[in-house]
Amino acid sequence: MDFSLTEDQQMIRDAAREFAQNEIAPVAAEFDRSGEFPVDTIKAAAELGFMGIEIPEEYGGSGLDPVSYALVMAEISAADAAHGTIVSVNNSLFGVPLLEFGTEEQKQKYLVPVASGKVNGAYALTEPQSGSDAGSMRAKAVLSEDGSYYTINGKKSWITSGPVAKYVVFFAQTVGADGESAGISAFVVDAEAKGYLRGKLEPKLGIRASATCEIELENYRCPVEDRIGDEGQGFKIAMIVLDAGRVGVAAQSLGIAQAAYEASLEYSRERKAFGAAIGSFQSIQNKLADMRMRIEASRLLVMQAAWSKAECKKTGQKNTLNSSMAKLFASETAMWVSHQAVQIHGGMGYSKELPLERYFRDAKITEIYEGTSEIQRMVIGRLETGLR
């Protein structure tokens, strides 16, 4: 089996690493402290083509492959997971539904500006009372009598990039002009239009520079041409998007774990106790060995999921199993490795003077968003047994 990267993939990885370490890493702690959205570095990421990596060039993107996307996500997230989250939302959560299900007009109007990084996109699925149980959403889109527009009402929570997004992919239960339910549908809504309201900012534990808020639509009039796909196709669209997005979260987790490990390895060589470098102690070596092993296992799962994502595009098959396994294992690895990294650093690991405690806080969300670890195990178990 050949696990080597192509020359183009190596180039994009190296470009992402150079950008992340030179431009993002020096400002990551300050943005984590302030919680401000990193406008300048995200603009710079857009100029490098990182806001639409897999989106074809004719729609504002870079036209690269899923492996390249995973490599970029890992490198950016190693510098700062919050920047990785922002990049992920534009690429996966907003980009995929428009690319896969959008009309040509929708792609030109909405996908091009987001994939090129001129504006930010967001994805609104979660509601205050429905997280993993997306089918129980209460937001409603009622079709007008003449069939020309929908009136949408509903509140969404935990919307990443919500405070700064220009366009949002919004999911709602559809009601026909006859009052009959047509299932969940997906729409593109304009954050600057009448009826779009931004709610409170979320005071998050980690990824603090990735702006997150509640949003609410109040009698928002959405033209029927801004519905993505067919009526009732929204749940299918949401699940396909999450399959794609989980590859990005897995790569993000890999980046966090790698950064925590490299910091621990360097510290173990420099820190002395009882007259010797702590890296010479068996207990520390055991931690480092386990950290490296889990990271490399995660890397293989992430690369497999990214590669199979490309193959599934050719065959029309689903990438659910590979993306769920990669996301589950890599996210739990990020949490475990960052925990061990704090322990290796002792008191300094608990201090904000070093980034270890930020890695630890940032890692936690990877076990939650785009499908919790519990949901991933359920998905994998159902696929393996064929039982529901």
- CA 3 to each of CA 9, 154, 304: distance values in angstroms, whole numbers, following the listed order: 12, 46, 9
C-alpha gyration radius of the chain = 21
| DSSP label of 37 | -
Task: Kindly give, in sequence order, each residue whose CB lies less than 8 Å from that of residue 20, ignoring residues fewer than 6 positions away.
Answer: 75, 76, 78, 79, 80, 83
Looking at beta carbons, which pairs linking 141-145 to residues 24 or more positions away fall under 8 Å?
141/172, 141/173, 141/174, 141/175, 141/185, 141/187, 141/222, 142/175, 142/177, 143/174, 143/175, 143/176, 143/177, 143/182, 143/224, 144/177, 145/177
Alpha-carbon span 370 to 365, nearest angstrom: 10
Q: Is the CB of residue 366 less than 8 Å from the CB of residue 290?
A: no
Place of tokens 């199979």: 308
**E strand map for 224-307:** 227-228, 272-273, 276-277
Single out the catalytic residue among 202, 367, 370, 374: 370
7 is catalytic: no
Tokens of 78: 């190693």
Tokens of 130: 């429905």
Q: How many CB atoms lie within 10 A of CB 180?
A: 8
- Enzyme catalytic residues: 370
